[in-house]
């Protein structure tokens, strides 16, 4: 089982509430409000106090459900919980606008605060860099939000090494640039070469999303076999096509053997790989069933 220190490093991802991520085409594949609330209740029972969402997950449903749940919790929990959300996904941007313009950031930040029922957001991420809006304009909008007391700290997601260095060089003292959230797992280790060590050296916290590689590292898929219905791979195969090769499935088989030798589930072993990577501050999990928590090494406390 995971230690308390491990649990303190884990964020509960709400990206499946009301849809699967930000894509409008995957709204049918998301968790219902009823299921999402049950998952949040269980996340609290196993000791999780960090929650990650985005303005475009489920078309805003994710933030709304998380906000409803937070509003039903006691004041002590709400004061200690940490909430992260994001802005800048193209699916949230109307035609003729750019996702990270000052007007879009200001608008979506207020929308997120309203859905979440919060006066400020603990951690506000750039979801994706839009490559059109000047970075200076984006960071100015974030700085204004920080100065207005609407965000406590700031981060970037889906960021290249060059992106991270550029943001750090341009962000002023009023904007607490603290987090970098990228994909990182046993099958996607590129960031371990330069970005993660550099972030650790410069006081930035790296958070890994997709630590189970979309479920591949649980061992439930086989190379060349069609995925089961209603699985992530069945709904969004194109997102994971880069993983589907013989080399990766050989690594998955090796993970299976090492997990069995250590008397762990494959999911536990996959999380352990990420948590034990020097420079990684934390990771995001997104279990969709109550029983998935136990397979991750999370038990009620």
What are 96-110's pLDDT values in tens digits?
999 999 999 999 999
pLDDT at 187: 98
Place 227 in a pLDDT band, splitting at 50, 70 and 90.
Answer: confident
User: Is it the case that residue 297 has pLDDT exceeding 80?
Assistant: yes
**Residue 232's pLDDT band (boundaries 50, 70, 90)?**
confident
Within a domain: 234: yes
In a domain, 182, yes or no: yes
pLDDT tens across 129-172, in order?
Answer: 999 999 999 999 999 999 999 999 999 999 999 999 999 999 99
pLDDT (0 to 100) of residue 301: 83
The dihedral built from the CA positions of residue 93, 98, 99 and 104, taken in this order, carries a sign that is negative
The CA distance from 72 to 266, in Å, is 34
CA dist 86 and 56 (Å) reads 8
Is residue 301 assigned to a domain?
no
pLDDT in tens, 239-262: 888 899 999 999 999 999 999 999
* The pLDDT value given to residue 283: 98
**Nearest residue to 229 via CA among 25, 48, 28:** 28
Among 182, 197, 193, 214, smallest CA distance to 282 is for: 182
Q: What is the pLDDT of residue 168?
A: 98
Range of the domain at 134: 4-295
- The maximal CA–CA distance of the chain, rounded, in angstroms, is 56
In the prediction, which pLDDT does 233 show?
86
For strand 280-285 and strand 50-52, is the pairing parallel, antiparallel, or unpaired? unpaired
How many percent of the chain have pLDDT more than 90?
Answer: 92
The C-alpha atoms of residue 60 and residue 52 are separated, in whole angstroms, by 13
Per-residue pLDDT at 196 exceeds 90: yes
Q: Is residue 1 predicted with pLDDT exceeding 80?
A: no
Mean per-residue pLDDT over the chain, rounded = 96
Residues 267, 41: Cα–Cα separation, whole Å: 21
Rounded Cα distance, 20 and 176, in Å = 30
In the predicted model, is pLDDT for residue 62 greater than 80?
yes
- What confidence category does residue 226 fall into, taking pLDDT thresholds of 50, 70 and 90? confident
How many domains are there within the chain? 1
State the pLDDT at residue 67.
98
Output the CA torsion 51→53→58→64 (10° steps).
Answer: 70
Closest CA to 205 of 238, 180, 239: 180
271 is a domain residue: yes
| Among the listed residues 273, 260, 207, the one whose alpha carbon sits nearest the alpha carbon of residue 50 | 207
Q: What pLDDT score does 263 carry?
A: 96
Is 233 a member of any domain?
yes
Kindly report the number of other CB atoms within 10 A of residue 263's CB atom.
Answer: 7
Residue 100 has what pLDDT?
98
CATH code of residue 37: 3.20.20.100
Identify whether the C-beta of residue 268 lies closer than 8 Å to the C-beta of residue 297. Answer: yes
Identify whether 300 is part of a domain.
no
Among all chains, which residue has been given the structure tokens 């920080």? 146
Any idea of the CA torsion for 59, 61, 63, 64, to the nearest 10 degrees?
140
What mean pLDDT is predicted for residues 22-27?
Answer: 95
Closest CA to 151 of 103, 106, 182: 106
Q: Would you say residue 240 lies in a domain?
A: yes
* Structure confidence at residue 206 (pLDDT): 98
Can you tell me which residue has the tokens 């060089």? 169
Whether residue 245 is contained in a domain is answered as yes
Distance CA 277, CA 272 (A): 8
């Amino acid at each position: 089982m995971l230690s308390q220190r491990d649990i303190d490093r884990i964020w509960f991802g709400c990206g499946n509430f009301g849809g699967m991520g930000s894509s409008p085409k995957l709204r049918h594949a998301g968790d219902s409000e009823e299921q999402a609330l049950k998952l949040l209740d269980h996340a609290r029972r196993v000791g999780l106090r960090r929650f990650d969402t985005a303005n475009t997950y489920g078309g805003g449903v994710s933030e709304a459900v998380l906000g409803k749940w937070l509003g039903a919790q006691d004041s002590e929990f709400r004061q200690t919980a940490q909430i992260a959300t994001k802005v800048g996904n193209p699916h949230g941007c109307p035609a003729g606008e750019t996702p990270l313009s000052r007007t879009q950031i200001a608008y979506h930040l207020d929308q997120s605060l309203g859905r979440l029922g919060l006066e400020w957001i603990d951690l506000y991420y750039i979801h994706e860099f839009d490559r059109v809006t000047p970075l200076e304009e984006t960071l100015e909008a974030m700085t204004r939000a920080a100065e207005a007391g609407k965000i406590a700290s700031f981060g970037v997601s889906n960021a290249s090494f060059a992106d991270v260095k550029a943001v750090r060089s341009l962000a002023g003292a009023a904007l607490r640039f603290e987090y970098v959230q990228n994909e990182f797992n046993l099958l996607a280790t590129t960031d371990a070469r330069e970005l993660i060590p550099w972030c650790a050296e410069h006081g930035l916290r790296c958070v890994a999303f997709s630590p189970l590689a979309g479920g591949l590292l649980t061992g439930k898929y086989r190379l060349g076999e069609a995925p089961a219905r209603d699985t992530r791979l069945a709904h969004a195969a194109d997102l994971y096509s880069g993983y589907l090769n013989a080399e990766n499935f050989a690594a998955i088989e090796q993970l299976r053997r090492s997990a069995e030798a250590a008397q762990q589930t494959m999911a536990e072993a996959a999380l352990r790989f990420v948590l034990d990577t020097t420079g990684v501050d934390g990771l995001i999990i997104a279990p969709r069933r109550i029983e998935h928590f136990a397979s991750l090494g999370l038990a009620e406390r």
